[in-house]
Structure 1
Amino acid sequence: MPRTNKENRNLPKALLNRFLKREDGALSVEAMLILPLLFWSMFASYTYYDSYRQSAINIKGAYAVADVLSREAEDVNAAYINTMYDLLENMVDTRAPVSMRVTYLTYDGDNDLHDVLWSCVRGTGYQKWTDAEIVKIKQRLPVMPDNGSMILVETNNTYKAPFQMAFKFADFEMDNLVFTHPRVFDQIVNTDPACLGV
């Protein structure tokens, strides 16, 4: 039976309604739309978690080095500092090089000055502290008694994201500064020539 003019006029509308009501294939389209966002959010979450994890490992490594040095009763030499640096590298286990600076200083209360007795550097991120340079971080150092001594351990490395997502996750520097008082002797002697003459 042939269609009437009215039925012919309503045919496009009926076909469109039928198309809009169909549900087969909807899951595939939704999956294609949501999967990129899902993967991006997973990678972004892991990257942020990894950066905080790396920061915590860095500070724990600096505390470990400071704690070992604070208990030292013998002289410190180049092999000792190298071992501390190896310990730090193994603890941090990062995708970027690690730098370490260990400084032993005393406080002159009469002149309100910190005197650097020795300063050792491993890695490429630091220069040795000197009496003239240590004043740059005076505000970051704790209050010390006159003639008091302190071990200062600084660590640095660059955080590199494990994934590069749609936007650039910039590398950033992780710097830590840890200080402690010697636990055994008030004077920790360093016999490494590279650490002296500051």
Structure 2
Amino acid sequence: MLMARLKVSLRSFFEETRGSLMVESVVSLPLLFWAMAATFDFFEIHRYKSVREKGTFTIADMISRETRAGGLTSIYLDNAKILFDEITNDNGVNQIRVSVVSYDKDDDEYGIVWSQVRGTGPMGELTTAQVKDSHATLPDVADGEEIILVESTSSYEPLFNVGLNDVTIGTRVFSAIRFAPQICYEGVCGLQN
């Protein structure tokens, strides 16, 4: 008997077509707007990171193809930062760090040949002390081989307040030197202490 009443009540509830459009709108529209804003912000974070990865790859590839005898200059790296800003479509909120890292097989340590930072942010120039035991984060290379390490950092501020705070986006790209035996910076070649 109780089950029969319950079935009748449930059937009556589901077959009911009367309602208040205003009440349903007040409940559902804010949730719909929040879901649309959250979807936009989540996809925008992925786009933001993807564009920065492409910019970082471009800078690393550009430097890896250099063959100048005197090496890169300060103006070259300033312009690389400007190019990165143009690729990412942000002016002034990005920071890039370009470093050349060498490996010494005898000591089983990495060392910094040179490191330069452009833009404002938390990154400073890398030192040999910071990378010498970085086997987990640096690729395996042959003894004496140098690689280019390009890193970038940017801060993403969500457009809508959907529960996301500012997100720091960091990218890191390694590249082999392609056409020259090494990449120098303003005549600085060889390991630095």
TM-score band, normalised by shorter chain: 0.7 to 0.9
Report if aligned partners of 1:95, 1:160 keep a CA contact under 8 Å in 2: no
Structure in which a larger fraction of residues adopt helix: 1
Letter in 2 for 1:174: I
User: Identity, % of aligned pairs?
Assistant: 29
Q: Distance in 1 between matches of 2:17 and 2:169?
A: 55
Secondary structure, aligned partner of 1:76:
coil
Contact 1:96 1:157 (C-alpha < 8 Å) held by counterparts: no
Deviation at 1:169, TM superposition (A): 1.3
Partner of residue 191 from structure 1, selected from 165, 186, 191: 186
Contact 1:58 1:92 in 2 (8 A): yes
What does 1:48-197 correspond to in 2, within 5 Å? 48-74=42-68, 75-94=71-90, 97-123=93-119, 124-135=121-132, 137-165=134-162, 168-191=163-186
Give the structure 1 partner of residue 29 of structure 2.
Answer: 35
8 Å contact kept, 1:96–1:158:
no
Conserved 8 A contact 1:71-1:182? yes
- How many equivalent pairs are there? 173
Residue aligned with 2:136, SS:
helix
Q: Find the aligned partners of 2:137 and 2:49 in 1 and give their Cα distance.
A: 19
Contact 1:156 1:175 in 2 (8 A): yes
Q: CA RMSD in A?
A: 2.3
Q: Which moved more, 1:144-153 or 1:28-37?
A: 28-37
Q: 1:150 to 1:197 in 2, by over 3 A?
A: closer
**Counterpart contact for 2:154–2:168, Cα < 8 Å:** yes
Q: Distance in 2 between matches of 1:172 and 1:31?
A: 33
Greater C-alpha Rg: 1
Tell me by how many angstroms 1:175 deviates: 1.3
Measure how far apart 1:90 and its partner are.
Answer: 1.4
- For 1:13-28, what aligned pairs fall within 5 Å after superposition? 23=18, 26-28=20-22
Q: Letter of the aligned partner of 1:187 in structure 2?
A: Q
Residue 96 (structure 1) shift: 7.5
TM-score, L = length of structure 2: 0.82
Question: Equivalent residue of 1:49, what SS?
Answer: helix
Q: Which residue of 2 aligns with 1:12?
A: none
**Structure 1: which 5+ residue stretches go unaligned?**
1-20
CA contact under 8 A between 1:158 and 1:173: conserved in structure 2?
yes
Query: SS of 1:174's equivalent?
Result: strand
CA 136–128 in structure 1, closer or farther in 2 if over 3 Å, else same: farther
